[in-house]
Structure 1
Amino acid sequence: MTAMVLAENKLLQEIVQNVEQNNIAVAVEKIRQQAAKFCQLPTSWLLNTADALETKNWSILSESFINMDFIGEDGYFLIVAPYQINRKRQKNVRLSALYGQIHPNDEPSIEQLENLVREKFGTVREGIPINLSFTEIASCGNVRGEAGEAFIVPNGWSFTGGVSGPALNNAKEQQQRFLGRSHKCIRTVFETETANLLLAPLEDEVNSQRYRHMDTQVHEAGHGSGLGLDFKIKQKLLPDYSYRGVEEWRSDSLGFEFAACILPPEEAGKLVAVNFCIRFGLDAHRAGGIEKDVDVYASLISLEHLFKNDAVYITKEGQLALRNLSYPGLLQAVELHRAKALSLTRRELNLKNPTGIFSLYHIDIHPSTQSVLQGLVRERCQGIWTELQ
C-alpha cells in the first residue's frame, strides 16, 4: 500500500472520528480537502456529503446511493448521514458514519434471481435489492458494533425515502457475532451433532463469507417477490412487529426456495444452516421478545414450521435436534417453509386490494412452540446475550 493511500485511509478514519465527536465543521473541511485530491472515493459523492452535513439536506445523496456511485476505486466507500434503527419498538436516529471496502462478490446475480422470481410468480413487481458485503474500516453511530447494525438496510438512511439502494452487510461484525455469542447460543440451544452441522459453514475459513453473502442475497430476493417490500412499506401494509415478522420469515423461506433452485442440495443446505445460526443464535434473543421484536417473531414462525414438518425434536436434555443430520436433510427440513411462503406470495399477488395482507399475514403459532422458544431458546441463553439491544 502506497504512502498516499495510507495517508488517505488515515484521513478518512479521522473524519469518522470527527463525526463521532460531533466536530462536524472539522469533518466537512476534511471531506472537502479529500475531494480536492485524486483519491479512492468519488469526488462528487464527497462534495455532496459535505454539503449535506452543512445544510441537512440529505436528499442530495439519494441518487448516487441508489445508483451505487458512492463506491470508489477498489471498492472503498464513506457514508455520513443519519441512520435509524428500531430497538424495543422505539426509533433511534443518529448521525452515523461508515468507512469500508466492498467485497467483489456477485454470486448469485440479480438477473439470475429475477428470472427465478418470474418463474415462480410470473412477474417481478420490484427490483431485487442488492446486497453488498463489505469490510468495515471505521464506523460510528447506529452502524457501529453490537449496539448498531451488522446488516445495514437501505431504508435506514435518511436520504433513501424508501428502501431503494443496496443493503450493506458488515462481514467483520457478522463474523464476530457468529463466532462469539451466537456460536455459544447455537451450542446451548441445539444438541452437539446438530450444532456442529449448523456452525460448520460459518467456521469454514475459505467459504464462510461467501455463504453469508449468498444467504443475505437470496433473502433480499424474497423481499423483492410478491408485492415487494418497498410497496408494502409505502402503503403501510406492515404496521407492527408481527406483520414485519411474517415478511421476514417469508423472505427467509423464499430464499431457501431460490437456493434450492440454483445450488446443489449440499450447498443450499449450508445456506439454511447460516440462516438458522442467525435466527436462533442471534435474532431469537433480541431484547424486545416474542411480543415486540420483528426478528424474534420471525424466528418463532420458523420454529413453528420446523415442528410442523417434524424436522426437529427435543432431546431428554431439553435441546433441539435435527432428525436428518445432513445438509440435504436441512433443505428437506424447510420444505414446509418453502411451500407455505410460495403459496402466501402467490396469494398476495392475487389480492384485489393490497389491504388483504392484514388477514393474509396471520400465522397461527401453537402455544407449545412459543413456550419452547421462550424457555429452551431465549431463557437458556439469557446470560450470553444480556447486552444485546
Structure 2
Amino acid sequence: MKTICVDEQEITRQIVKDIEQDEIAKAVKKLRQQATNSNELLPAWLSKTADALENNDWGILSEDFINMNFIGKNGYFLIIGPYQINRQSQPKRALSAIYGKIHDNQEPSIEQLENLCREKFGKLSHSIPINLSFTEIASCGNVSGESGEAFIVPNGWYFSNIVCGPALNNAKEQQQRFLGSSRECILKVFEYETANLLLGPLEDELNGERYRHMDTQVHEAGHASGLGFDFKIKHNLFQNYTYGGVEEWRADSLGFEFAACILPAQEAGKLVAVNFCIRFGLDAHRLGGIEKDTDVYASLISLEYLFQNDAVYVTKNGQLALRNLTYPGLLEAVELHRTHALSLTRRELTLKSPTGFFPLYNVDIHPSTQSIFQGLVMERCQGIWTKLQ
C-alpha cells in the first residue's frame, strides 16, 4: 500500500510538471488514468479537470470547488486551472496547478465569526469563505514560488469568475517567506525589540502555523462583512488600486476586531504581529509601489493609523518602534484601525447606490507618513525581495 501511495504521488507530481511545460495532452491522459486508479484524490474531480483542460471549459469545476468537493482522502487535493494575480495594477493570468495536503485546522469556526459579523453589523451579506491551510507537494504557474501567491484566493481561479469557495493558504511557502526575506525586512524596518515582538509568533515552532491560519481566517471574515467582497466584485467597485487597498486594510482591521472578541488580548495581539509581518515585511515591497499596488497601499494605510494612534515613532537610528512592547499593547496600537473600519463598514451598509462607495473608500494619507513609508520601509528593503512582483 505504501508503494502504491508513493507511485500515485509521483504521477500527480508529473501531472503538475506537464502543466508547467504546457504538455496538456499528457496531463489529460494521466488525469484520466488517476481518476480510475487513485486512492488519494477524488475520481469525479480528476475527470472533470481533464474535461476542463481538454475543452477549455472551466465552468464545470465551479460547483465542486465551491462545495470543496476537490479534497480527497486524508486531505489530498489537486487543483488545475487558469489563476489570475494582479501586479502593478495589471492582471496576469496563467494556467496553474497546486498539489497538496489540507491541514485539520478549524479555529476559529466559521459559525463563530459569522455570529460576530451579525452582532457588529446587524447582517451578513454572504457566507465567510473558509481558509484551508495546506502543505504543498508540487505547484506551477501563478500559485508557485516567491513570485506567485502563497494565499490563494477563490476569485483568482477562472471557474466562471466565481468569488465563492475556499481560500487556500500555502503553509510551506508562507513559512519560507516569513523566515526568509520577510524576516530580514522586519529587522531592517523596525528597531530590535519591536522586530522581535513582531516575529515572535511566526518563530513559535508549536503555534506559528496556527497563528498564520487564524490571521487569514479573521481577514476573510473582514472581507465578508458589510456589503461583502462578492458584491463589490460584481459591481466593479475596485476600479483602481486605492479602492482595493482600502478594502484590504478594512479586512485587516476588522480581523483585529474579531480577534479581540474571541481571543485573550495576549493572543489577539499575536495575530496583529503576524499581520504586520505580512504587510511590512512582504506586501510593502511589491514592485508596483504606492502608486500601483493594492497591497502596498494597504500597508501604507496601516502605518498612517499607527501614527494617528501615536502607537509608533521613529528612532534616532531611523527605524520604526512600538511604544508598548507587549502583545496586549500591540492590540491597543490598532485601536484606530478597528474603530475606523467598524465605522466604514456600517456606513457602506447605509449606501443607497453602489456609486456611493467611491467617496467612502477614500483615506487621507499625511505626506509625512508617505515619506516615512517610502524611505524607512520600501527603500530600506530594496534588493531583499528579488522575485516579488
Q: Same fold (TM over 0.5)?
A: yes
Aligned residues with identical type, % of pairs: 73
Deviation track 1:333-368 (CA, whole Å, cap 9, x = no partner) reads: 000000000000000001111211101000100000
**Residue 116 (structure 1) aligns with:** 116
Which amino acid is the alignment partner of residue 324 of structure 2?
N
Q: What is the aligned-residue RMSD (CA, Å)?
A: 0.8
Cα deviation for residue 162 of structure 1 reads 2.8
After superposition, the C-alpha distances for 1:239-296 in whole angstroms (9 at most, x for unaligned) are 1100000000000000000000000000000000000000000000110000100000
- Does the alignment pair 1:15 with 2:35? no
C-alpha distance in 2 between matches for 1:341 and 1:221:
13
Residues 359, 72 of structure 1: alpha-carbon distance in 2 compared, 3 angstrom cutoff: same
Partner of 1:59: 59
Q: Distance in 2 between matches of 1:160 and 1:28?
A: 21
Which position in structure 2 is the counterpart of 1:97? Answer: 97
Which residue does the alignment assign to 1:211? 211
The one-letter code of the counterpart of 1:32 is: R
Q: Provide the residue aligned with 1:283 in structure 2.
A: 283
Indicate the residue corresponding to 1:322 in structure 2: 322
1:385 Cα deviation from its structure 2 partner = 1.8
- Counterpart of 2:363 in structure 1 is 363
Instruction: Name the counterpart of 2:344.
Output: 344
Unaligned runs of 5+ in 2: none
Partner Cα distance (2:52, 2:278) in 1: 35
- Contact 1:128–1:220 at 8 Å: present in 2 too? yes
| Structure 2 CA distance for aligned equivalents of residues 296 and 58 of structure 1 | 31
Cα distance in 2 between the residues matched to 1:273 and 1:89: 27
Q: How far apart in 1 are the matches of 2:318 and 2:367?
A: 17
Maintained 8 Å contact 2:62/2:162: no
Render the CA deviation track for 1:302-357: whole Å, top value 9, x for unaligned.
Answer: 00000000000000000000000000000000000000000000000011112111
Match for residue 128 of structure 2? 128
Q: Name the residue aligned to 1:301.
A: 301
Equivalent residue of 1:81, what SS?
strand
Cα displacement (A) at 1:22: 1.1
* Deviation of 1:160 (Å): 4.4
Corresponding residue for 1:188?
A: 188
Amino acid in the other structure paired with 2:183: H
Q: 1:78: which partner in 2?
A: 78
- Counterpart of 2:221 in structure 1 is 221
**Is the Cα–Cα contact under 8 Å of residues 41 and 71 in structure 1 kept in the other structure?**
yes
Matched AA of 1:50: A
- Stretch moving more, 378-387 or 225-234: 378-387
Q: Distance in 1 between matches of 2:277 and 2:303?
A: 13
CA contact (8 A) 1:154 1:160 kept: no
Cα pair 1:246 1:298 within 8 Å, conserved: yes
For residues 146-196 of structure 1, the C-alpha deviation after alignment (integer angstroms, 9 at most, x for no partner) is 111101111111114231100111000000000000000000000000000
Aligned position for 1:139: 139
Match of 2:239 in 1: 239
Structure 2 CA distance for aligned equivalents of residues 24 and 362 of structure 1? 45
What SS does the aligned partner of 1:273 have? helix
Contact 1:162–1:234 (Cα < 8 Å) also in 2: no
Contact 2:150–2:173 (CA<8 Å) still a contact in 1?
A: yes
Partner Cα separation in structure 1 for residue 5 and residue 160 of structure 2: 30
Supply the distance in 2 between the matched residues of 1:38 and 1:82 (Cα, whole angstroms).
Answer: 24
C-alpha displacement at 1:4, in angstroms?
A: 1.1
State how far apart, in whole Å, the 1-side matches of 2:215 and 2:245 are.
18
User: Secondary structure at the residue paired with 2:91?
Assistant: strand
Aligned to 1:48: 48
- Secondary structure in structure 2 of the residue aligned to 1:383: coil
1:324 maps to amino acid:
N
Tell whether the 8 Å contact from 1:94 to 1:141 is kept in structure 2 after alignment.
Answer: yes
Give CA deviations for 1:183-242 in whole Å, capped at 9, x if unaligned. Answer: 000000000000000000000000000000000000000000000000001001111100
